[in-house]
């Protein structure tokens, strides 16, 4: 199994050049001194994660200097895999940020590379779905960070044109949600975007029902998966509808939203920054829980995205790094209040769900208490075992999706996808 995981990690990173020893212009772990008061962190997005580390250092105090090495997300994962596979310990950072969907792959491939954090933080202090993503063989390894709690973002002005109020949007089923499409079209609006080659919304729908693409053994869970079958039923309706805006990439997706072509967006809470980029729409958006599926155990709550902090066992200052994380992201309500107030970063630290910033209202989102809503929904997200092969499972399904949309037998195509999945992880 370890060999299979290693192959998957390497395949994911093939599009990115090898970074260890290359002149990338970054201040890396190999450049740092042996100063025991300095910890090096590999992560992406200085505006979000870099800022969070700066604020964490303020909370921790001047006893440690944080050396933030910014790279693209793919580069972080590639470089981490390369260094761990090489066994060159002096090139290790003290802390690395790993996206939740990739965490299991690294924990399974390199079980001794990461420091267990169960002696430093309590898993009970974090959302259950999040700790499940960063635990392996009943051991907590990651310090959970940001949430991708999902929401149904909608244009209040468009929905009011067909007689819908904020109250009407609170308990929608998927049937009720899709029925809005024809009504909105009569007013000149599309319901939402639709990309026939992207099943990202399946992640949201499946987890809302406590299901995933794979089971707890890492095997494909395609056949007789009622929630997945319902995902395809919904996807087919969107494909055949005349009230969706067809897009092919992120630029077209964001463009359709910011130009006012669509009334609704179903995504993780990180979507707020894209919506707010169009200042002219301030006061015209609001949030509601996601539509509920018919599958057994279905809820209005789910997740899309998110990442967590990990300490490398063999790094120069692993114990200081563990203490730093424990006293900041692992326990500080002060830190999470700052991150929420200044950058709208929704953490998964449960004791911070009643900090002051959660009470603030958002003018852009119709004066809703957006942070409080998202924080409440986060605690209700079903925990699922995403395993190490989520990407391979989704790729296998994408390969048969055109045939399904064209009317092909669902069961037969899911069986084909399952065989492709088995071959892809051998």
Closest C-alpha to 401, from 204, 200, 262: 200
pLDDT digits (tens, 9 = 90+) for 132-173: 999 999 999 999 999 999 999 999 999 999 999 999 999 999
Closest C-alpha to 125, from 386, 348, 375, 397: 348
CB 28 within 8 A of CB 69: yes
The mean pLDDT value of the chain amounts to 90
> Residue 55 and residue 61: Cα distance in Å, rounded?
10
CB count, 10 Å around CB of 123? 17
**Domain spans of the chain?**
38-148+305-352, 149-303+384-425
pLDDT band at residue 312 using 50, 70 and 90 as cut-offs: very high
Closest C-alpha to 187, from 159, 215, 168, 166: 159
Averaged over 53-65, what is the pLDDT?
93
pLDDT band at residue 90 using 50, 70 and 90 as cut-offs: confident
Question: What pLDDT score was predicted for residue 288?
Answer: 98
For CA atoms 79, 84, 89, 94, the dihedral sign is: positive
The pLDDT > 90 percentage for the chain reads: 76
Closest C-alpha to 226, from 211, 245, 247, 239: 211
Helices (H) and strands (E) in the chain, counts: 16, 12
Which one is the CATH code of 38-148+305-352: 3.40.190.10, 1.10.645.10, 3.40.50.300, 3.10.50.40? 3.40.190.10
CB count, 10 Å around CB of 122? 13
- Reply yes or no on whether the pLDDT at 7 is more than 70: no
pLDDT digits (tens, 9 = 90+) for 326-364: 999 999 999 999 999 888 889 999 999 889 999 999 999
Please, what's the b/e burial string for 333-369 (b: 16 or more CB within 10 A of its CB; e: otherwise)?
eebbbbbbeeebbbbbbbebbebebbeeebebbbebb
Give DSSP secondary structure letters for 4-22: HHHHHHHHHTTTS---TTS
| Angle between the N-to-C axes of helices 226-240 and 410-424, in degrees from 0 to 180, rounded to the nearest 10 | 110
CB 220 within 8 A of CB 213: yes
- Reply yes or no on whether the pLDDT at 25 is more than 60: no
pLDDT digits (tens, 9 = 90+) for 252-304: 999 999 999 999 999 999 898 889 889 999 999 999 999 999 999 999 999 99
> Residue 387 and residue 139: Cα distance in Å, rounded?
15
Give the list of residues 6+ apart from residue 417 with CB closer than 8 angstroms, or none: 220, 222, 396, 397, 399, 400
Element (H, E) at 235: helix 226-240
3-state SS string for 44-64: CCHHHHHHHHHHHHHHHCCCC
Determine if the pTM surpasses 0.85: no
Question: What pLDDT score was predicted for residue 322?
Answer: 97
Superfamily covering domain 149-303+384-425 = Periplasmic binding protein-like II (3.40.190.10)
Pairing of strands 244-246, 192-194: parallel
Closest C-alpha to 139, from 104, 109, 87, 101: 104
> Residue 128 and residue 384: Cα distance in Å, rounded?
9
Residue 267 CA, distance from chain mean position: 10
Tokens of 63: 């006893």
């Amino acid at each position: 199994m370890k060999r299979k995981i290693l192959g998957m990690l390497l395949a994911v990173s093939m599009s990115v050049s090898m970074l260890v020893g290359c002149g990338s212009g970054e201040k890396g772990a190999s450049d740092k001194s042996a100063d025991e008061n300095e910890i090096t962190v590999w992560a992406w997005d200085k505006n979000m994660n870099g800022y969070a580390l700066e604020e964490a250092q303020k909370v921790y105090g001047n006893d440690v200097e944080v050396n933030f090495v910014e790279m693209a997300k793919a580069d972080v994962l590639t470089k981490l895999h390369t260094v761990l596979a090489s066994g060159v310990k002096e090139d290790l950072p003290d802390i690395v940020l790993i996206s939740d969907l990739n965490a299991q792959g690294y924990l399974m491939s390199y079980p001794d590379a990461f420091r267990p954090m169960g002696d430093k933080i309590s898993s009970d202090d974090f959302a259950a779905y999040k700790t499940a993503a960063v635990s392996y063989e009943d051991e907590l390894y990651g310090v959970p960070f940001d949430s991708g709690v999902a929401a149904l973002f909608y244009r209040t002005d468009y929905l009011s044109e067909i007689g819908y109020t904020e109250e009407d949007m609170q308990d929608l089923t998927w049937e009720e949600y899709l029925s809005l499409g024809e009504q909105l079209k009569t007013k000149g609006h599309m319901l939402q975007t639709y990309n026939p080659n992207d099943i990202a919304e399946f992640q949201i729908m499946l987890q809302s029902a406590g299901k995933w693409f794979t089971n707890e053994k890492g095997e494909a869970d395609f056949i007789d998966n009622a929630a997945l079958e319902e995902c395809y039923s919904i996807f087919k309706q969107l494909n055949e509808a005349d009230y969706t805006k067809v897009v092919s990439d992120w630029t077209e997706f964001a463009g359709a939203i910011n130009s006012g072509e669509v009334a609704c967006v179903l995504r993780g809470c990180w979507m707020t920054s894209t919506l707010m980029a169009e200042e002219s729409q301030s006061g015209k958006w609001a949030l509601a829980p996601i539509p509920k599926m018919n599958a057994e155990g279905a809820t209005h709550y789910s997740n899309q995205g998110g990442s967590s902090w990990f300490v490398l066992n063999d790094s120069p200052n692993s114990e200081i790094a563990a203490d730093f994380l424990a006293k900041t992201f692992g326990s500080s309500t002060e830190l999470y209040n700052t991150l929420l107030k200044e950058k709208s970063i929704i953490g998964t630290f449960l004791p911070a769900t009643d900090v002051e910033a959660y009470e603030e209202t958002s003018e852009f989102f119709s004066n809703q208490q957006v942070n409080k809503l998202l924080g409440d929904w986060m605690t209700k997200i079903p925990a699922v075992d995403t395993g190490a092969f989520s990407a391979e499972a989704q790729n296998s399904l994408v390969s048969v999706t055109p045939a399904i949309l064209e009317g092909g037998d669902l069961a037969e195509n899911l069986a084909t996808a399952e065989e492709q999945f088995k071959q892809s992880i051998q």
